[in-house]
Each structure stands twice: as C-alpha cells, then as structure tokens.
Structure 1
C-alpha cells in the first residue's frame, strides 16, 4: 500500500483507463469520482487518497494521455528518408486521431476548473501542448536536409498547418468523420508539394 497522496503506477493507470471508459460512455457529466472508482473496481476513496480531488486527477489524466500520444509519435524524425513524406506524416496524424484526446479536450471545456490545473502543468513543463508541432517540424527539417522537401520549405509553418488542420477537423467533424483521413492526406500532399 502506498502512502496517502502517493499513487502507484498500476493504480494510476487503472484509474486513468477507467476514467476514459466512463468519459467515452457517459460523457463529461457522468465523470464522477464514484463512477471512476466503480469502473476501476477499487475502493471509492482511492482516487481522492491518491490525487487529492477530482480536478487534480482529471488534470493528471489529461497530461498522461497527451504525453502518451506524443511518445507514440516520438520516432517520427527518425522516419525521414523512409516511405513517402506524406505517408510518414499520415502515420503520425493517425496517432492523434486514434487517441481519446478529443474526448479529454471536451472534458476540459465542460469543466472550466481544469483550465487552472492544466495551466499549472503548462507552467511547470509537465504539459507541452506544442509537442506534436515540434515533432512534425523536426521530421520535416530532416526531410528537407535529405532533399525530399525543397530547401526553402518553411517546416515550422508546415507543421503548424498540419497540426492545426488535425485539431480543426477533429473539433468540427469528429474522429470518425468518413472523409477525415482523405481530407488530411490531401492537405498534407498539397502542403508538401508546394
């Protein structure tokens, strides 16, 4: 048993996984400490014992899932020179599309009290909202060095446009829109070819 306020990695992930399931099934309004602990099959007070309160837990969940998405794209710069530039970009974009980050973003909109907690995570460097953009830029820089992009390609602007388009389409159309991937592939192709 861990000391009060200190969570073990297994319990932490168990609670995070349970919270995601509740969020996806019941939406932000159904996401209570009791619902999460019931879904996880643990004692009702465990979440508060380890995280202090529900907002601290939900902020930690958001940070954890954002970091996991970034980590799963971490090898993008090393893919330079393999496959096609667009295929590599689409593989990284797929990571952003398949996670539950949009549901978590909706949770933040539904619980404004989380904004303060996430602001603290941004301030202390725990949360890096521009991590995907930086990975795309690093990858595009590597492709430019290999000559697979023009030497004057503005890789930072290309990366921003791609990540911004993913966010825009996810927010307006959702991750299951039938033409989402096709539209993103066309955009990536247009940006890279010009």
Structure 2
C-alpha cells in the first residue's frame, strides 16, 4: 500500500496496490502489520458499514475519552467526500480540515486519527461506506460539530438545499462554541 501524507500530521490517504486482469481485480484492503509499520500502531476492534443516497451528510462526529476512536474508512460502491477536522486545542492545524474523495473506483482509504471530527457527504445516487474503528461505539461519549460551521469552511460538494441530515446532526454546535475538545499535548495513543 502507498501512504500519502496530507497537510495535517497523522491524517493520511492510503492507496492499495491493485492487481487487474481480464477477470477483474484483487487488492489487499487491510494488513495490520503494514498499517502499523507505515501509519500508526493501533488495533481495530469494530467494522461498520452504511448505505446512503445522494445528499446524505453524516457528521461531523467524534468520541471523547476514554472511548476516543481512530477510523479507517473506504467506499465499496459510489463516491463520497470524506472530511477530517483537527479539533485538538493547541495544534498548529486546529480547526483545519482535509477532504478527500473516496470511491468504489479509486479504492482509496482515509485514516482519521483520534482527536479529529469526521464526516462525509454522498456524491452519487448510492454509496456503500465501510470503516474500521479502534474503539467500540460508546453513545455516552459522543461528540459532534455543525457540518455547516462557517469557520470550518468545508465545501461538501453538494448544494446545501440538497443536504439530508439526521435529526441529531441538525443541532450540533460550531467549533468556537464547543464545550469539549481534545488537548494537542495529551497523548491519545
């Protein structure tokens, strides 16, 4: 796998080596050994999958300690714009984000470390989205930010009048009003 660094330390894009012939293709979608060598030492404990339609926007979510999560995400079918936002107070990239298009065609994966909020918008008629987490889901530890926070300046690549949100995602605060954020100096791994 090739690991592509981004402008935010720790947030990386992963491109697998794809072997194609007249029968189709094959690629290794995950290797714990290679991931730990090239990205980060962590153990994924839960795999999740969602199906969504065009305009669905999920995010910007995170889990607070002691259930802080890293995520390794990818798309099986369709395309999304996937976003990681640095919410570590004191970080040189605090409030900045990385956005990458993930699709069933490009087979890219995106690693979102602990200390980041995560979300995605669906760009195609249908998407099947998979992700690995290194901590179990803990509803009592949920945190989230407003997807449309003007200070974040995220272009979700869909018109705002086409955005489909869950009821919960309609009511999150802006980053400047967040009562709980990560500390850049706190060791998260």
Report the TM range for the smaller structure's normalisation. under 0.3
Q: TM-score, normalised by structure 2?
A: 0.24
Q: TM-score, normalised by structure 1?
A: 0.24
Instruction: Between the two structures, name the one with larger relative contact order (CA 8 Å, sep ≥ 6).
Output: 2
Looking at secondary structure, tell me which structure has more strand per residue: 2
> If you compute each CA radius of gyration, which structure gives the higher value, 1 or 2?
1
